[in-house]
Amino acid sequence: MIEKNEFPRRHIGPDKSNVKEMLEALNLESLDSLIDLAVPTNIRRHQNLLHSPNL
């Protein structure tokens, strides 16, 4: 059975302390460093996404 406080923890994502703990465990200095290791450069988008101001 899922506890009623389970949904936010699973779906909102990590907070700053969670990110800091994760980066320390991986011996990395930033999320950019993690992305550099995890996402191949040939599939990255290197410019900002354009979006409507209404979004």
Q: What is the 3-state secondary structure (H, E, C) of 1-55?
A: CCCCCHHHHHHCCCCHHHHHHHHHHCCCCCHHHHHHHHCCHHHCCCCCCCCCCCC
Which position has the token pair 């406080």?
5
Query: Which pLDDT score is estimated for 55?
Result: 58
pLDDT recorded at residue 33: 96
pLDDT in tens, 5-54: 778 777 888 899 999 999 999 999 999 999 999 999 999 887 777 777 76
pTM of the model: 0.62
Measured CA to CA, the distance from residue 26 to residue 43 in angstroms comes to 23
